[in-house]
Amino acid sequence: MSPQGTQPRRILIADDDPVSRRLLQSFLEKWGYDVVPAADGEIALRLLEKESAPTLAILDWMMPKKNGLEVCARVRERPGRAYVYIILLTARTRKDDLLQGLESGADDYLTKPFHAAELRARLQVGLRILELQTGLIQAREELLFRATHDELTGLVNRRVIIEAIAREHSRNIRHGGTFAVIVLDLDHFKSVNDTHGHLAGDAVLKEVARRMAVGLRPYDTVGRYGGEEFVIVAPSCDREGASRLVERILTMIRSKPVDAADCSVAVTASCGISISHPGKSLDARALMRLADEALYRAKDNGRNRAEFAVEPELIQSG
């Protein structure tokens, strides 16, 4: 049976004594662990530096090439990698030696000859700690996602969009090139909520977000700016490229009605587009203001269309 009733956990064991290594491996496999053996410290370190490294390890203190302390210290130097819970096996019993082992980065130690039941109990402690850490990491990632994404559509939120525009503006100043800011607003969205209810409105927003995400380039950023308004930041995109991109998005949005809350809703959208050029690089506030003004003109000119900002500094020569 696997430890704590889970799927088999991978564990690395490093010991240069083949008899001791096979004995330890037999115990661990009996307890449901998937064992990765290593005959010396150098092999152990190489295995622990892989992306798919086990998160549990039992290291003998005295090994050729690299001893257990050296392996511990090297593993702890790795930034941003999954934590490895390490147990040192040692014949040393002096308190100073054991403290040295823990200071090198080991989480626990066991003196030889070890008692199988004690090793199993210590491994279960290690598993609980790893599970707690995984839970904390997942909670942190969830909080980060909620802080940067819109809950309904899953797109990035207003703050991230502004940061994306500022990032492109900074790159534009350093390296030149162009980029586009596109403000997209669903047409007559209030009537969707009024006629079909807010559940239908939510379904429309989610489906429109999905269609936009499918139609964009991998390096474009799309987010929900508020209500039924979305913003797209398109790097390396001039007037012609922005026109093609927007037409593709609008076509996908109106391609077929959205099935929502026992009804079918036809959806269209209007867009305003502003472009930042070399030598006329505009900040996030200016680009958003100009794109908003263009959006209002698209609405006034019949909706279901796109308009470019008309300020002289945004019109390409020729």
From residue 244, how far is each of 179, 196, 221, 234, 269 by CA, in Å?
Answer: 14, 33, 16, 12, 15
Query: How long is the chain?
Result: 318
Residue 186: closest CA among 254, 248, 280: 254
The answer to whether residue 228 is catalytic is: yes
Which of 142, 228, 240, 313 is an active site residue?
Answer: 228
* Active site amino acids: 228
